Amino acid sequence: MLLIDCPFCGKRTESEFAYGGPALAPRPDPAALTDAEWVDWLTVPPNPLGWVEERWWHARGCGAWLTLRRHTVTHEIAEVRHGR
Ligand SMILES: [Zn+2]
What is the CA(39)–ligand 1 centre distance, in A? 34
3-82 fold: Folate-binding fold (3.30.2270)
| Cα(38)–Cα(41) distance, integer angstroms | 5
Phi and psi torsions of 35, nearest 5°: -60, -40
The alpha carbon of 22 and the centre of ligand 1 are apart by a number of angstroms equal to 19
Q: What pLDDT shows up at residue 24?
A: 78
Between 60 and 27, where is the model more confident? 60
- CA 75–ligand 1 middle distance (angstroms): 19
- The pLDDT mean for the chain works out to 94
Average pLDDT of span 9-14: 97
pLDDT digits (tens, 9 = 90+) for 24-51: 778 899 999 999 999 998 898 778 999 9
CA of 51 relative to ligand 1 center, distance in Å: 23
Contact present, 77 and 12 (Cβ < 8 Å) = no
Over residues 8-30, mean pLDDT: 92
Ligand 1 centre and the CA of 72: distance in Å?
A: 22
